[in-house]
Chains A and B, each alone.
Chain A
């Protein structure tokens, strides 16, 4: 597939005004928001910052803000599309979050998960260079469209 074709596909992915108005920290977060918007799932982008560590004076030393909150399901989602070293660090934060806030539901989507998700939705994807922040971007690469999935390809729901 040519770069022109990939650019054309990227531009034709549905983007709501809200998605367009948010400065996402990473391109993969924008794609995730697009998918949620498409399926009419309410979402909030980084709405909550959870303190994870404090000093003896009660000052917050470390905190964690999951990427998305889905109020309909009371679920936080964290996209992790980085190198394994950084994934380990993020896993540690999520574990700590679960220890401190056991009532909070959070799900991590790893790079492999997210790549599969993009593939499933027929979205062209490329691996970003380390100098670009790593992870995945939805504008180059595996552009196979799962046409069977009435909505999501061979596998859907």
Chain B
């Protein structure tokens, strides 16, 4: 099937929608089996994790709740240290929390997030990521559920963006090196 790219900076499709949905179903089945009779709360970080969370939660055949956080970004406009800019709406004490990530790269954000969530005394906390890019991993974190191991390329689509764009692509694509090496 031919695919029209919306921008010349997009290099190629790394995982198409068929592959992604197959991974989502696989992960959903694993989570369904592992969380039998448990009080499951899915948590994701806005905005990138939304696409994956939306599909994953419907592939899990258990009662569960959804909640969202947002964390300040490092960069020119950043404060002195990372902080939560939107907190969870619901308490997680005593609940089984599954953090749903679109991608885990350096692990710095996830490390901070897990530290914050553990302080709230959940019954358990685990991580599910669609994409695992471990080439630049600095924080070695336990990842219980992973969709794909991905190469050290800049990726967009299915929640991943560049400057807010391309999140809505149904596939995950690599960008050309010129994007970041210019």
Which positions in A face B, CB cutoff 8 Å? 8-10, 12-14, 16, 35-41, 70, 72-73, 75, 77, 107, 109, 113, 115-117, 119-124, 141-142, 144-157
B80 x A155 contact (CB < 8 A): no
**Residue tally, chain B, CB below 8 Å to A:** 53
B71 x A150 contact (CB < 8 A): yes
Nearest Cβ on chain A to B51's Cβ, whole angstroms = 12
Among the listed stretches B10-18, B27-35, B52-60, B102-110, which one makes contact with chain A, having 4 or more residues with CB under 8 Å of it?
B102-110
* A-B contacts, CB under 8 A, total: 166
Per DSSP, chain A at the interface is loop
A157 x B105 contact (CB < 8 A): yes
- Which B residues are CB-close (under 8 A) to A119? 154, 179-180
How far, in angstroms, from A100 to B70 measured CA to CA in the complex?
A: 44
A151 x B140 contact (CB < 8 A): no
- Which B residues are CB-close (under 8 A) to A35? 74, 108
How far, in angstroms, from A147 to B77 measured CA to CA in the complex?
A: 11
A41 x B111 contact (CB < 8 A): yes
Nearest Cβ on chain B to A132's Cβ, whole angstroms = 19
A153 x B81 contact (CB < 8 A): no
B160 within 8 A of A: yes
Q: List 23 A-B contacts (CB under 8 A).
A: A12-B77, A14-B79, A36-B108, A38-B82, A39-B108, A39-B109, A39-B111, A113-B136, A116-B180, A121-B75, A123-B76, A141-B182, A142-B180, A147-B161, A149-B73, A150-B45, A150-B71, A151-B74, A154-B162, A154-B166, A155-B133, A155-B160, A156-B109
Q: Mark B76-111, 1 if CB is under 8 A from A, else 0.
A: 111111100000000000000000011111111111
Nearest Cβ on chain A to B174's Cβ, whole angstroms = 11
B82 x A40 contact (CB < 8 A): yes
- Which B residues are CB-close (under 8 A) to A70? 138-139
Nearest Cβ on chain B to A72's Cβ, whole angstroms = 8
